[in-house]
C-alpha cells in the first residue's frame, strides 16, 4: 500500500483521547475538526513548575536522492517508545502549502510511521502559516503606508530590508516594482515576495517562548535603514502589537496523532537554510512538560540541522537534549560510496563501507555537543544482512551502537530496539549538552568555528565588506547572537556534488544578514532561493477531489 492508502485507512481517535494521554483537559484543547487541536496558552502557562521529560533529537547524514527517512524515524521512534511502555510524544514541523502544488506533497512520515490527518497537514492545517503570512504582510503594508503619508522616520526607500511573503511557489513575485500608478499609490520602489516559510516572522514564532517574547521579537525586526544607515524597526512602524494579535492563536502548538494514536505536536516550519529549520520552541517545551520522552527532528543533515538545533534553538530556549538518533540508510551509504542511483538495488557491502565516512564525520561532530548518540539504520526491503552489518561494524569501531529499524513496515513494533537504546542513553545520565561556541565569541570567529569544527573546511573566505558588516553589528550590540548557516544540505562543502567526507576546501561566505527579531546572523554560502517556482507540469494539474470525496494527486 502507498503512504496515502495507509493514511486513509488510519483508525484515528478523537483528538480529545489523544490529549487525554498527555492529561490535557478537554477545555484546554481547542479543536480544529475532530482530529486536530491547539493547546491553550492558559494551560501551557499552568505547566511551568512541572519537571521536564527527556529530549531526543533525530538527525541524519547528508541527504542523498536515495532518501534517509528522518521524519519516518522520528514518528516511528515516538510510537516505539510508547510501544515499550513509555509516555512519549513527537514534535515535528508543519508543511509549507506552496510547494505541494509544484511537486507531490510531503507526507508526515511514511509507511506505518505517519502522522495524520495527512491531507489537512499538507493543506491549511490549523491556519498557522496563513496567520504568519498576514502578520508579515501587515508590517509591509504599514511600512509603505508610513512612507506614503510623509515618511516621518526618514526611511531610505532604496534600503528597505523587508519583503512581502506568500505561501505559494510563484516566481513571478520574486522581483517586482511596487507602488506604481501615480500619487495615490505611493512611491515606486523595488520589492518582492518570499515564500512564507522564509519569513523572519516564521523564525520568530518558532523561537519565541511566549506571547510577550513574540511581541518583543516582532518589534525587533529591522525593516529598513535611513540614509545614514541607522536601522528602522518594526516597533518604529508600530506594527508589533497587531502582528502579535494576528499570531496569538498560531502561537498555540497543534496536537495531532500518529497512525498508532500517539500524540504528535506539529508546529512551526522555518526554512532550514536562512533560518534554523526546527519546530517551535513552544511545542517542544510544552511536550517536555507533558511527556516523559519527546522525540524531535531538525532539518537537512546533522551538519546544518543538528548544529542549528543545538547552537540556536537549544541555546536560546535553554533546552538540554538527552540523546541523539543519527539516521542512516544502506542505500545512502552506497551513494556516498560512489554507487549510482540506478545500481542501488545490487548488494555491495564494500560500497556501503566506503560511504560510511560521511556517517563517521557526523558521529564525530555530534559528540562535540556532549549528547550521547545511537545510529538508527532505516531499513529498506532491498538491504542485505551483509550491508547492514557493514554499517554496524563501522559504528562499533567508533564506540556507537547502530540499530536496524523497521518502523516503515512495522510501525512502533519495528523500532523497539532503538527505543530501548534511547531510554538507556537518556537514563544513563551521560548527557552534558554544550553548544559549539560561546555567546561572546566574535561573529566571524563563530562562522569559522562551525566551518572548521563541523564542515572541516581549511578556511573561511570572508571579504572585507562582510567583515566590516559583522563588526558593525557587534558594535550595535548584536555580537552575542548565534550564527545561522545557509549552505547546501547535500555536502559538508558548498558544492552539492561532493559527497562523503571531503577535505581540502574553503568555505566562501557570499553575504551576511541580520535577523534581529529571530535573533541570529545568517551567513549565506552559495545561492539561496527564497521563492521557489513551479515546474513545467505542476502537480496542481492533477490535484482534485475524486468521486469518493477524497483528494487525489496531492501525494
Annotation: binding site for ATP:
64-71
Label residue 422 exposed, middle or buried (CB < 10 Å: 0-12, 13-18, 19+). Answer: buried
**Per CB under 8 A, which of residues 44..103 are in contact with a copy of itself?**
97, 101
Q: Any contact of residue 479 with a copy of itself (CB under 8 A)?
A: no
Q: How far, in Å, CA of 268 to CA of 270, rounded?
A: 6
Phi-psi region of 88 (alpha: psi -120 to 50; beta: other; left: phi over 0): beta
Q: Measured from the CB of residue 198, what is the shortest distance to a copy of itself in angstroms?
A: 16
Q: Any contact of residue 177 with a copy of itself (CB under 8 A)?
A: yes
Pick the closer one to a copy of itself by CB: 94 or 215: 215
Residue 540: how many CA atoms within 13 Å on its side-chain side? Answer: 14
Q: Any contact of residue 514 with a copy of itself (CB under 8 A)?
A: no
CA distances to 110, 383, 529, 536, 555 from 73, in Å: 9, 17, 28, 33, 19
Q: Any contact of residue 528 with a copy of itself (CB under 8 A)?
A: no
Backbone angles phi, psi at 165, to 5 degrees: -135, 155
Question: How many beta carbons lie within 10 A of that of residue 105, not counting itself?
Answer: 24
Q: Which position among 232, 246, 317, 523 is part of the footprint of a copy of itself (CB under 8 A)?
A: 246
Q: Any contact of residue 309 with a copy of itself (CB under 8 A)?
A: no
Pick the closer one to a copy of itself by CB: 126 or 378: 126
- Of the candidates 274, 284, 240, 295, which has an alpha carbon nearest to the alpha carbon of residue 83? 295
Pick the closer one to a copy of itself by CB: 16 or 384: 16
Contact flags string 109-148 toward a copy of itself, x per CB under 8 A: --------------xx--x--xx-xx--xx-xxx-xx--x
Q: Which position among 272, 375, 554, 555 is part of the footprint of a copy of itself (CB under 8 A)?
A: 554
Q: Which position among 20, 84, 216, 248 is part of the footprint of a copy of itself (CB under 8 A)?
A: 248
Q: How far, in Å, CA of 215 to CA of 240, rounded?
A: 6
Q: Which position among 11, 85, 149, 340 is part of the footprint of a copy of itself (CB under 8 A)?
A: 149
Q: Any contact of residue 249 with a copy of itself (CB under 8 A)?
A: yes
Known binding-site residue numbers: 64-71
The secondary structure of 335-389 as a DSSP string is HHTT--GGGTTS--HHHHHHHHHHHHHHHHHHHTTT--EEEEEE--TT--HHHHH
Q: Measured from the CB of residue 348, what is the shortest distance to a copy of itself in angstroms?
A: 39
Contact flags string 203-242 toward a copy of itself, x per CB under 8 A: --------x---x----------------------xxxxx
Q: How far, in Å, CA of 271 to CA of 530, rounded?
A: 9
Q: Which position among 10, 22, 30, 402 is part of the footprint of a copy of itself (CB under 8 A)?
A: 30
Q: Any contact of residue 545 with a copy of itself (CB under 8 A)?
A: yes
Q: Report, as residue numbers or ranges, the catalytic residues.
A: 70, 72, 93, 104, 272, 300, 380, 408
Q: How far, in Å, CA of 249 to CA of 376, rounded?
A: 36
Pick the closer one to a copy of itself by CB: 184 or 342: 184
Q: Which position among 191, 337, 500, 519 is part of the footprint of a copy of itself (CB under 8 A)?
A: 191
Q: How far, in Å, CA of 446 to CA of 313, rounded?
A: 16
β-bridge partners, 374:
325
Task: List b or e across 225-243, with b for residues whose CB sees 16 or more CB atoms inside 10 angstroms.
Answer: beeeeebbbbbbbebbeeb
Q: Which position among 9, 229, 536, 548 is part of the footprint of a copy of itself (CB under 8 A)?
A: 536
Contact flags string 151-170 toward a copy of itself, x per CB under 8 A: -------------x-xxxxx
Q: Any contact of residue 176 with a copy of itself (CB under 8 A)?
A: yes
Amino acid at each position: 500500500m502507498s503512504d496515502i492508502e495507509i493514511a486513509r485507512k488510519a483508525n484515528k481517535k478523537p483528538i480529545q483521547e489523544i490529549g487525554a494521554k498527555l492529561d490535557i483537559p478537554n477545555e484546554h484543547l481547542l479543536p480544529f475538526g475532530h482530529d486536530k487541536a491547539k493547546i491553550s496558552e492558559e494551560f501551557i502557562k499552568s505547566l511551568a513548575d512541572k519537571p521536564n521529560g527527556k529530549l531526543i533529537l533525530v538527525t541524519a547524514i547528508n541527504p542523498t536522492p536515495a532518501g534517509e527517512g528522518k521524519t519516518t524515524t522520528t514518528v516511528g521512534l515516538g510510537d516505539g517508545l510508547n510501544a515499550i511502555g513509555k509516555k512519549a510524544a513527537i514534535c515535528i514541523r508543519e508543511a509549507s502549502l506552496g510547494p505541494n502544488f509544484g511537486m507531490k506533497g510531503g507526507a508526515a512520515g511514511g509507511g506505518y510511521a505517519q502522522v495524520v490527518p495527512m491531507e489537512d497537514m499538507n493543506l491549511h492545517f490549523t491556519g498557522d502559516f496563513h496567520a504568519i503570512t498576514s502578520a508579515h504582510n501587515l508590517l509591509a503594508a504599514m511600512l509603505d503606508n508610513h512612507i506614503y503619508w510623509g515618511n516621518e522616520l526618514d526611511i531610505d526607500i532604496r534600503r528597505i530590508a523587508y519583503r512581502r511573503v506568500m505561501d505559494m511557489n510563484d516566481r513571478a513575485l520574486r522581483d517586482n516594482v511596487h507602488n506604481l500608478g501615480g500619487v495615490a499609490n505611493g512611491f515606486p520602489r523595488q520589492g518582492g515576495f518570499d515564500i512564507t516559510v522564509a519569513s523572519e516572522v516564521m523564525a520568530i514564532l518558532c523561537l519565541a517562548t511566549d506571547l510577550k517574547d513574540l511581541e518583543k521579537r516582532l518589534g525587533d525586526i529591522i525593516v529598513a535603514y535611513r540614509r545614514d544607515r541607522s536601522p528602522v524597526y518594526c516597533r518604529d512602524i508600530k506594527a508589533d502589537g497587531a502582528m502579535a494579535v494576528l499570531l496569538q492563536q498560531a502561537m498555540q502548538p497543534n496536537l495531532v496523532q500518529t497512525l498508532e494514536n500517539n500524540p504528535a505536536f506539529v508546529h512551526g516550519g522555518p526554512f532550514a537554510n536562512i533560518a534554523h529549520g526546527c519546530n517551535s520552541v513552544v511545542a517542544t517545551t510544552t511536550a517536555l512538560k507533558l511527556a516523559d520522552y519527546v522525540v524531535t527532528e531538525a532539518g537537512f543533515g546533522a551538519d546544518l540541522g543538528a548544529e542549528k538545533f543545538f547552537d540556536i534553538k537549544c541555546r536560546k530556549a535553554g533546552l538540554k537534549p538527552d540523546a541523539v538518533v543519527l539516521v542512516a540508510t544502506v542505500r545512502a551509504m552506497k551513494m556516498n560510496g560512489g554507487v549510482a542511483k540506478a545500481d542501488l538495488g545490487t548488494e555491495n557491502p564494500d560500497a556501503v563501507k566506503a560511504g560510511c565516512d560521511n556517517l563517521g564525520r557526523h558521529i564525530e561532530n555530534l559528540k562535540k555537543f556532549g549528547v550521547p548518540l545511537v545510529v538508527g539504520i532505516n531499513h529498506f526491503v532491498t538491504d542485505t544482512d551483509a550491508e547492514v552489518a557493514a554499517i554496524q561494524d563501522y559504528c562499533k569501531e567508533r564506540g556507537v551502537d547502530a540499530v536496524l529499524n523497521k518502523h516503515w513496515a512495522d510501525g512502533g513494533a519495528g523500532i523497539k530496539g532503538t527505543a530501548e537504546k534511547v531510554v538507556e542513553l537518556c537514563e544513563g545520565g551521560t548527557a552534558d549538552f554544550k553548544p559549539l561556541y560561546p555567546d561572546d565569541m566574535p561573529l566571524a570567529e563563530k562562522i569559522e568555528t562551525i566551518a572548521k569544527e563541523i564542515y572541516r573546511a581549511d578556511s573561511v573566505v570572508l571579504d572585507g565588506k562582510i567583515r566590516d558588516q559583522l563588526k558593525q553589528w557587534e558594535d550595535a550590540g548584536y555580537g552575542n547572537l548565534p550564527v545561522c548557516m545557509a549552505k547546501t544540505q547535500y555536502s559538508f562543502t558548498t558544492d552539492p556534488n561532493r559527497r562523503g567526507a571531503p577535505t581540502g576546501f574553503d568555505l566562501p561566505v557570499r553575504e551576511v544578514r541580520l535577523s534581529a527579531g529571530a535573533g541570529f546572523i545568517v551567513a549565506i554560502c552559495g545561492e539561496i532561493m527564497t521563492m521557489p517556482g513551479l515546474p513545467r507540469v505542476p502537480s496542481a494539474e492533477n490535484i482534485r477531489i475524486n468521486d469518493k470525496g477524497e483528494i487525489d494527486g496531492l501525494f
